[in-house]
Amino acid sequence: MKTLNFKSALKSMLLPIMVLALMVNLTGCVEQTATTDENVNSAEDTSEVVKSTIDLKGKKIGYATPSLNAPYYQALLQSIKASTEKNGMTFLSADGQNDINKQIAAVEDLITKGVDALLLNPKDPDALVGVTKIAKAAGIPVFIIDSSIDPSADFVTTIQSNNHANGALAGEWAAKKFGNKKMNIALLSGNAGNPVGRTRKQGLLEGITEEQLRTQGKINLDVRTQMYTEWSYAGGLKAMEDVLVAHPDINVVITESDVCVLGAIKAIKQAGKTDDILIVAGADGQKEAIKYIMDTDFYGCTAMNSPVQIGKNAVEYAIQYMNGKRDFPKTSFTPPLLITKENAAKYYNPKALF
User: Which domains are delineated in the chain?
Assistant: 6-17+163-303 (3.40.50.2300), 26-161+306-335 (3.40.50.2300)
Q: What confidence tier does 6 reach under pLDDT thresholds 50, 70, 90?
A: very low
Q: How far apart are the first and last CA of the chain?
A: 33
pLDDT, tens digit (0-9, with 9 covering 90-100), for 46-85: 678 999 999 999 999 999 999 888 888 999 999 999 999 9
Determine what percent of the chain is predicted with pLDDT higher than 70. 87
Look at 41-50, 119-128, 143-152 and tell me which has the smallest mean pLDDT.
41-50
Burial class for 142, CB neighbours closer than 10 Å (0-12, 13-18, 19+):
buried
Q: What is the mean pLDDT of residues 300-319?
A: 96
CA distance 46 to 316: 13
CA distance 43 to 46: 9
Query: Nearest-CA neighbor of 189 among 278, 116, 264, 251?
Result: 264
Bridge partners (DSSP) of residue 225 are: 186
Q: What is the pTM assigned to this prediction?
A: 0.79
Average of per-residue pLDDT values in the chain:
88
